[in-house]
């Protein structure tokens, strides 16, 4: 009989402490929310437990003498192409617990990343490039249904638009902060996203946890979400934002609902979500009033009635094989925006097997959906927004060339404020003060400082997008949208090139 679970013999990380440099200041003890560091009374010094380390690197970053290094555990299993260490450890853990494996953040699975196989085409002599520092470069984006044609009438003040256009969400950049619910991340981060979005003239998404009363003043830059659990949903909430999003699916866990552990539901989260303190908040897999496109149509128009047709209504789905047909139905049901979330999308908590094995890459789903809507002549009836694994401005601009109107960024936003992707968001012990509601941990995020970093990230991406547009000889983001001739593929097979609608490099 083993004195401890076998899984504890194979930790993912080891803590390397240089004892000659360690001054036993206990900074690491105070910084580690997982108690991997502790004061050893018997030896009268700071010690550590490798098995509790999650690889967040906070102790390493804050060590005043630089005596700590967090390393991957060099101990390994016998080579086996089928039984890799990842699956061995999964089985050990489930043998210990008998439960479902949970993971946070996006999938780390080694599967094709199509952004890395797409190159942007650049202009040369016959189509000169444009210098964005000296010439206007338009990044403004409007999300919402557009008419099939527009009409004007001549007036003494010049032409006047007579065609009625539906409500639009105006963005100064084709970028938004993705849905991350209050509870999965804390109020400090929600404030930071709201403040940054307001400063930038873009939008952030509340996620499915409702809207804290302190954030109603940021309504012009807020997208409120309606998910299957209906947490925090009421008429004032629906009218608080500049758009309403119906969440059907999520890229990190297609086909299943949401789960916020009770450990993360404190009094403030409880009031906002309208659920008991300490109880698990479960969003069921389906909306219990949506079992067909016709049902979805009823909800879309119920929300439009509730908001007096003043804001666009969005529908979010996970990237799956039949996304084009689903998106077509969503647009015909009256949605103004369709959001497609790929399998690399981040999450606070998802079953590991679903996160890593269900869903398809957003790149393929986006191209297929854009093609389908164009073929049916309804592409202008709704805007396309994509999410799930956008790492940089180059990924974003490639997504726009594939057909997206705008991009949601979630994981990148969290990384900009300190996240190290340790993937333990569901524990509520985030050492960087992001995915936690513990008082001593969440104060590690200052809303003003975080807002500045988020705004810096979007501005930096915006500058890079302008530079890339200029390099392609374009002076507006609108000229690139769906312009796949500005993309070339590298190392992709014919089927992949066909789905993406992209030529191979050299053609």
- The number of folded domains in the chain is 2
d(CA 52, CA 15): 10
| Rg of the chain (C-alpha set) | 24
275 is annotated as contributing to ligand binding:
no
In a domain, 235, yes or no: yes
- 87 & 173 share domain: no
452's CB contacts (< 8 A; 6+ apart) are: 196
421's CB contacts (< 8 A; 6+ apart) are: 105, 411, 415
Q: Where are the strands (E) in 268-378, listed by range?
A: 281-282, 313-318, 337-341, 350-351
- 295 & 379 share domain: yes
- 166 & 79 share domain: no
d(CA 437, CA 423): 16
The per-residue pLDDT string of the chain (507 residues; one tens digit each, 9 = 90 and over) reads: 455 667 677 888 999 999 999 999 999 999 999 999 999 999 999 999 999 999 999 999 999 999 999 999 888 888 999 999 899 999 988 998 899 998 999 999 999 999 999 999 998 888 889 998 889 999 999 999 999 888 888 888 888 888 889 999 999 999 999 999 999 999 999 999 999 999 999 999 999 989 999 999 999 999 999 999 898 899 999 999 999 999 999 999 999 888 888 888 888 888 888 888 888 888 888 999 999 999 999 999 999 999 999 999 999 999 999 999 999 999 999 999 999 999 999 998 899 999 999 999 999 999 999 999 999 999 999 999 999 999 999 999 999 999 999 999 999 999 999 999 999 999 999 999 999 999 999 999 999 999 999 999 999 999 999 999 999 999 999 999 999 999 999 999 999 999 999 999 998
- 173 & 69 share domain: no
* Two structure tokens written together for 119: 């190159």
- 51 & 176 share domain: no
- 193 & 287 share domain: yes
In a domain, 105, yes or no: no
306's CB contacts (< 8 A; 6+ apart) are: 235, 238, 239
- 237 & 344 share domain: yes
In a domain, 124, yes or no: no
* Dihedrals phi, psi of 97, to nearest 5 degrees: -110, -30
CA angle 281, 283, 286 (to 5 degrees): 165
CATH code for the domain in which residue 88 is found: 3.30.70.20
- 208 & 314 share domain: yes
> What integer pLDDT is reported at residue 4 of this predicted model?
65
CATH code for the domain in which residue 368 is found: 3.20.20.70
User: 364, 356, 430: which is closest to 403 by C-alpha?
Assistant: 364
**What would the pLDDT profile of 82-107 be if each residue is shown by its tens digit?**
999 899 999 988 998 899 998 999 99
32 is annotated as contributing to ligand binding:
yes
In a domain, 121, yes or no: no
d(CA 314, CA 226): 10
In a domain, 320, yes or no: yes
d(CA 79, CA 283): 41
This prediction has a pTM of 0.93
- 59 & 197 share domain: no
Range of the domain at 92: 6-99
In a domain, 51, yes or no: yes
28 is annotated as contributing to ligand binding:
yes
d(CA 251, CA 354): 10
In a domain, 411, yes or no: yes
**For the chain, how many residues are written?**
507
- 94 & 216 share domain: no
End-to-end Cα spacing for the chain: 65
- 308 & 432 share domain: yes
In a domain, 132, yes or no: no
What rounded mean pLDDT belongs to the chain? 93
- 399 & 483 share domain: yes
d(CA 206, CA 434): 15
**What would the pLDDT profile of 350-386 be if each residue is shown by its tens digit?**
999 999 999 999 999 999 999 999 999 999 999 999 9
22 is annotated as contributing to ligand binding:
yes
């Amino acid at each position: 009989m083993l004195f401890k679970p076998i899984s504890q013999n194979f930790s993912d990380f080891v803590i390397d402490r240089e004892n000659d440099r360690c001054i036993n200041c206990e900074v690491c003890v105070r910084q580690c929310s997982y108690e991997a560091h502790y004061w050893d009374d018997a030896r009268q010094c700071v010690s550590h437990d490798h098995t509790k380390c999650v690889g967040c690197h906070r102790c390493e970053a804050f060590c005043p003498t630089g005596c700590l290094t967090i390393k991957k555990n060099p101990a390994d299993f016998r080579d086996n192409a089928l039984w890799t260490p990842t699956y061995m450890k999964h089985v050990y853990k489930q043998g210990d617990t008998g439960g479902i494996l949970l993971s946070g953040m996006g999938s780390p699975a080694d599967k094709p990343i199509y952004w890395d196989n797409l190159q942007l085409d650049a202009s040369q002599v016959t189509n000169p490039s444009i210098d964005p520092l000296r010439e206007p470069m338009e990044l403004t984006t409007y999300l919402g249904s557009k008419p099939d044609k527009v009409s004007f009438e001549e007036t003494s003040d010049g032409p006047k638009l007579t065609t009625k256009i539906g409500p639009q969400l105006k963005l100064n950049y084709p970028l938004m902060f993705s849905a991350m619910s209050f509870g999965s991340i804390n109020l400090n981060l929600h404030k930071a996203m709201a403040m940054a979005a307001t400063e930038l003239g873009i939008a952030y998404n509340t996620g499915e946890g409702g809207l804290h009363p302190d954030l109603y003043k940021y309504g012009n830059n807020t997208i409120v979400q309606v998910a299957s659990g209906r947490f925090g949903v009421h008429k004032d909430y629906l009218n608080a934002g500049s758009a309403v999003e119906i969440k059907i699916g999520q890229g990190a866990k297609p086909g299943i609902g949401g789960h916020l552990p009770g450990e993360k539901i404190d009094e403030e989260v409880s009031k906002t979500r309208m659920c008991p303190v300490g109880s698990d908040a479960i969003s069921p897999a389906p909306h219990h009033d949506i079992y067909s496109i016709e049902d979805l149509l009823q909800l879309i128009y119920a929300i439009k009635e509730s908001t007096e047709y003043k804001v666009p209504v969005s529908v979010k789905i996970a990237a799956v094989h039949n996304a084009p047909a689903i998106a077509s139905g969503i647009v015909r049901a009256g949605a103004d925006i369709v959001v497609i979330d790929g399998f690399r999308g981040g999450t606070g908590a998802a079953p590991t097997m679903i996160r890593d094995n269900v869903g398809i890459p957003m790149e393929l789903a986006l191209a297929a959906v854009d093609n389908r809507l164009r073929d049916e002549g309804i592409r202008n009836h709704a805007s396309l927004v994509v999410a799930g694994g956008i790492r940089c401005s180059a990924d974003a601009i490639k997504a726009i060339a594939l057909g997206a109107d705008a991009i949601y960024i979630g994981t990148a936003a969290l990384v900009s404020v300190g996240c190290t992707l340790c993937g333990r968001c569901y524990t509520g012990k985030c050492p960087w003060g992001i995915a936690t509601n513990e008082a001593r941990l969440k104060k590690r995020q200052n809303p003003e400082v975080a807002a500045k970093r988020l705004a810096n990230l979007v501005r930096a991406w915006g500058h890079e997008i302008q530079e890339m547009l200029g390099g392609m000889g374009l002076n507006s983001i609108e000229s690139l949208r769906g312009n796949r001739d500005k993309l070339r593929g590298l190392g992709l097979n014919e089927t992949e090139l066909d789905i993406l609608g992209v030529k191979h490099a050299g053609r």
